[in-house]
Copies of this chain bind each other. A is one copy, B any other.
Amino acid sequence: MNFSSEQAFLAQYQKSDYPSPLMTVDMAIFSVDQGQLQILLIQRSNYPQKSYWALPGGFVDLEQDQNLMACAHRKLLEKTGIDSPYLEQVASIGNAKRDPRGWSVTVLYFALINFKAYQQQIQHSEHSEWVTLEQALKLDLAFDHHDLLQQAFARLNNKTRYTALPISLMPPLFTLTELQNIYEIILGHNLEKKAFRRRMIESGVVEETDQSKIAGKRPAQLYRFALQDYDFNFPRMLEYPRHHED
């Protein structure tokens, strides 16, 4: 066909000329509680895959959503009550088989939130629950969510080696020992105390406050995050354990 102008073309354009896949977003929301990395799952209240555990997510709404990120925020709020500040896109997964309703594409996001700060905030439009990552990966999750969860964790684990991202799991004031614990939980191995503290302090990602935390033994200096961007890149990566400790 020939058109004399962009306007003429658009006037006749039928969106149904090209069938579109189903379009969803899914969120892997990580937190740390009880010394364990936790992931927020919802139990599906509708078909398909009714009553299976799944990552929170849902369909893009062409009316409501300005863009994909806005959709992710909206869905997260609807499904869990969480208004997360930081969502990072991990990847998009699309194929003919992942959803029984048809060719489907999902955009996967992840977020890190402080457990306590969001504990009240969580509401249950569907039944939601924090599950340790370990447990979650053993469950028979809906659709390909097992795979999505692995991808999201791989990203978190990797970025923990060279960014300050895990600080977004912390409350506003925290001790360096607490922060180190979070790093160790995500990485799955222990870190050297001196090296960890030096790295955090000398890079300027954290700064001392005038407060300290008294919780039993010797009081600990409280620090705060000192940058804008959790995606701060350290010049070197943390190494993997050299001998088999874990």
Chain A positions near chain B (C-beta within 8 angstroms) = 3, 6, 9-10, 13, 15, 18-23, 47-50, 59-62, 65-68, 89, 91-96, 100-103, 105, 107, 233, 235-237, 239
Contact present for B6 and A100 (CB under 8 Å): yes
Question: Inside 8 A of A107's CB, which chain B residues have their CB?
Answer: 92, 94, 105
- Expressed in whole angstroms, the Cα–Cα distance for A162 and B237 within the complex equals 10
- Expressed in whole angstroms, the Cα–Cα distance for A239 and B22 within the complex equals 43
- A68's contact among B9, B18, B105, by CB below 8 Å, is which? B105
Which residue on chain B has the smallest CB distance to residue A59?
B18
- Expressed in whole angstroms, the Cα–Cα distance for A50 and B7 within the complex equals 11
Contact present for A105 and B105 (CB under 8 Å): yes
Question: Inside 8 A of A59's CB, which chain B residues have their CB?
Answer: 18
Contact present for A50 and B15 (CB under 8 Å): no
Contact present for A9 and B47 (CB under 8 Å): yes
Q: A3-B47, A105-B105 are in contact. Are A10 and B100 (CB under 8 A)?
A: yes
Contact present for A62 and B6 (CB under 8 Å): no
Question: Inside 8 A of A239's CB, which chain B residues have their CB?
Answer: 235
Which residue on chain B has the smallest CB distance to residue A92?
B92
Question: Inside 8 A of A23's CB, which chain B residues have their CB?
Answer: 20-21, 23, 94, 105
Which residue on chain B has the smallest CB distance to residue A236?
B236
- Expressed in whole angstroms, the Cα–Cα distance for A22 and B9 within the complex equals 16
Question: Inside 8 A of A9's CB, which chain B residues have their CB?
Answer: 47-48, 50
Question: Inside 8 A of A18's CB, which chain B residues have their CB?
Answer: 22, 59, 61
Contact present for A67 and B47 (CB under 8 Å): no
Could you list some 21 contacts between A and B, CB below 8 A?
A6-B48, A9-B47, A9-B48, A10-B47, A10-B101, A15-B22, A18-B61, A20-B21, A20-B23, A23-B23, A23-B105, A62-B102, A65-B96, A66-B95, A67-B94, A67-B95, A67-B96, A68-B93, A89-B91, A105-B105, A236-B237
